[in-house]
Structure 1
Amino acid sequence: MKLYYATGTCSLGPRIVAHELGIELESQKVDIKKHQTDSGSDYWHINPKGYVPALMTDDGYLLTEGVAIMQYLADRGSPTNLNAERGASSFYQLQEWLTFISTELHKMFSPWLFHPEYGSEAQRVAMQKIYERFEVIDAHLKDQQYLVDDQFSLADVYLFTIVRWAGLFNIELTSYRNLSGFLERISNRSAVKSAMLAEGIIAN
């Protein structure tokens, strides 16, 4: 399997899943401004959506959404301890959190805060929404370390990946003690450190 990625983007999520589950991935770095891979290929021809992550599966199918890629990898890892059994209440809680992070948090960062041409008012509204979402998450983490059944899951991987962006925009996290503790806890996992190294986020 080949992961198309760019440093500092949400491709970190699938990378963490792969490292957590011992899945080996071939990697291809993408310049998302030029839409070109580091091997010189036109990325538009690989992924018509133009963004990362994208995963070319062993059967030749291209997956292009981070949550789908993470779930695909989790279903193929051993042990499959980041997912939840379909039909169990934890499965639907996991889907709830993945959806919340994707639609209510991820999209508040992107594209609004990554596109200054949208103006300061759009950024102000987006930042306010981000703070509101952080309050919800911080309250949920008050009495537990992880989002679903207090067990490390795909939802935690995704949340960590997105909330890390707060530092890019000077979004203050000190008021959210539980969320700050969560970030520190996840960042200390060995698989997360190795994933960040592979993505070029941290140096060896």
Structure 2
Amino acid sequence: MKLYYSPGACSLAAHIILNEINVDFDLERVDLKTHKTEKGTDYFTINPKGYVPALEINPGLMLTENVAILPFLAQHDPKQDLIPPSGLGRAKVLEWLGYLNSELHDAYSVFFGPALSPEEKERGYATINKILEYTDNYLQESDYDYLVNDHFGPADAYLFVLTNWSNSINHDLSPFKNVIALRNKVAGRQSVQIAMRDEGLIP
């Protein structure tokens, strides 16, 4: 497999899950401004959508969108318990991935487009805070160690990556103690440390 990624982008979640499973994979960095890969390839010829992640499963067989890639990878090695094989447990993983993708990802994305006025930034922060407040309350009331159950999984990786973006937009995560606790737990995993080092995000 080959993952097309941009450092610190949402593709980091797929990179983390790839490190969790028993599979060989390659990485190819994408410059999202020039849409060129590190090998000089026009990225639009690889993924016409133009953004990451894109996962090349086999030559000519490509999968895009985190809500598809993350469950696909998580089910690769059932021994890892990254995603329930079926039933309500699997549906809950997909529910969280959908929520994070459609709500939290979009809320952060506002800050990575055209420059925002102070008023627009405040509205943007308020939107992020509303979603994180829901997530924080959910974690507070949950008996599980992670978002869905007692096993780390793709939704935890995705939440970790998205909330990392708070560092880039001067957003304060400190009110969300349960989110921070989950982030710290995820950050300590070897798969996360390796992925972040490989992408140049930490020394």
Q: Flag whether TM exceeds 0.5 (same fold).
A: yes
- Give how far 1:78 is off: 5.0
Residue 81 of structure 2 is matched in structure 1 by 81
1:138 aligns with 2:141: no
| Distance in structure 2 (CA, Å) of the matches to 1:201 and 1:24 | 22
Check whether the contact 2:74–2:153 (CA below 8 A) recurs between aligned residues: no
Please tell me the residue identity of whatever aligns with 2:25. L
Check whether the contact 1:71–1:154 (CA below 8 A) recurs between aligned residues: yes
1:27 aligns with 2:35: no
What does residue range 95-106 of structure 1 map to in structure 2 within 5 Å?
95-106=94-105
Q: TM-score, normalised by structure 2?
A: 0.92
- Give how far 1:124 is off: 2.8
Structure 2: which 5+ runs fail to align? none
- Give how far 1:150 is off: 3.0
| Distance in structure 2 (CA, Å) of the matches to 1:191 and 1:18 | 8
Residue 4 of structure 1 is matched in structure 2 by 4
Q: Deviations over 1:117-171 (max 9, x none)?
A: 4644443322211001111111111244311123211111111111111111111
Residue 192 of structure 1 is matched in structure 2 by 192
Please tell me the residue identity of whatever aligns with 1:91. R
| Distance in structure 1 (CA, Å) of the matches to 2:176 and 2:9 | 23
Residue 164 of structure 1 is matched in structure 2 by 164
Residue 202 of structure 1 is matched in structure 2 by 202
| Distance in structure 1 (CA, Å) of the matches to 2:195 and 2:145 | 21
CA spacing shift, 1:30–1:59, aligned 2, 3 Å: closer
- Give how far 1:115 is off: 1.2
Deviates most, 145-154 or 186-195 = 145-154
| Distance in structure 2 (CA, Å) of the matches to 1:76 and 1:22 | 8
Structure 1: which 5+ runs fail to align? none
Q: Deviations over 1:171-191 (max 9, x none)?
A: 111111111111111101111
Deviates most, 30-39 or 142-151 = 142-151
Please tell me the residue identity of whatever aligns with 2:12. L
Task: State the superposition RMSD in angstroms.
Answer: 1.6
Identity %: 37
Please tell me the residue identity of whatever aligns with 2:35. H
Q: TM-score, normalised by structure 1?
A: 0.92
- Give how far 1:79 is off: 2.2
Matched pairs, number: 201
| Distance in structure 2 (CA, Å) of the matches to 1:79 and 1:58 | 23
- Give how far 1:72 is off: 1.6
